[in-house]
Amino acid sequence: MNSTPPIKVLLADDERLVRSGFRVLLDLEDDITVVGEATTGAEAVELARATRPDVVLMDIRMPRLDGIRATAQIAAAAGMEQVRVLILTTYDTDENVFDALQAGASGFLLKDAGPAELLHAIRVVAAGDALLAPRVTRRLIGQFTAQRRAAKSAQERLAVLTDREREVLALVGQGMSNDEIGAALFLSPATARTHVSRAMVKLGARDRAQLVVIAYQTGLSDPTQ
């Protein structure tokens, strides 16, 4: 018998049919439990505080408080450091997805994703990883990063990293897993994970998703490749 607690999921979408569809699917899974449903961004923040879910499935466009601002509030709230937000969007070129990643989301998923893809996304994000679909994310971030440069120059921002950490950051930006980074740099997966973790701490990144954004912003990764 599996003694691991189920993944707690909060559904945040103003469309009842969408929430109902997600709940029907998630209720069939032994390792996932729905702890609440929110119809506005403000309600999502309140329920996240009350239920401490592992994952919030967050729609971008909601009344009272949109999903981006709700994500930012959850990411910044004391005591909710372990709550991960998985953004739901209708369009894979939505500029708001980039804003959501910067606000603290751990990834995003298109609403037309199949059941298996949705379940995989929830489990990946709950495990602490980022869900970044290369076919969407590289193009998306590439489109908007040029207009969203950080105040500091790339060299100043990356000065805190060792040469190895820069190499690892570049590969994270290409969507590589720890296993793939290790193979590319002749490191063990554990060593690769350590370098990723150190880069996150030094750069103040909340998770792997924000490392990808930084890799593009600083030019370490080319979103067109």
Instruction: Count CB neighbours of 162 within 10 A.
Output: 12
Give this prediction's pTM.
0.68
Average pLDDT over residues 30-47: 95
Cα(95)–Cα(51) distance, integer angstroms: 30
Are the C-beta atoms of 32 and 9 separated by less than 8 Å? yes
59 pLDDT more than 80: yes
Placement of tokens 């996932």 in the chain: 32
**pLDDT tens string 174-218:** 888 899 999 999 999 999 999 999 999 999 888 888 888 888 878
- State the chain's mean pLDDT as an integer: 84
Q: What is the pLDDT of residue 41?
A: 94
122 pLDDT more than 60: yes
1 pLDDT more than 50: no
Looking at the chain, the number of H-run helices and the number of E-run strands are 11, 5
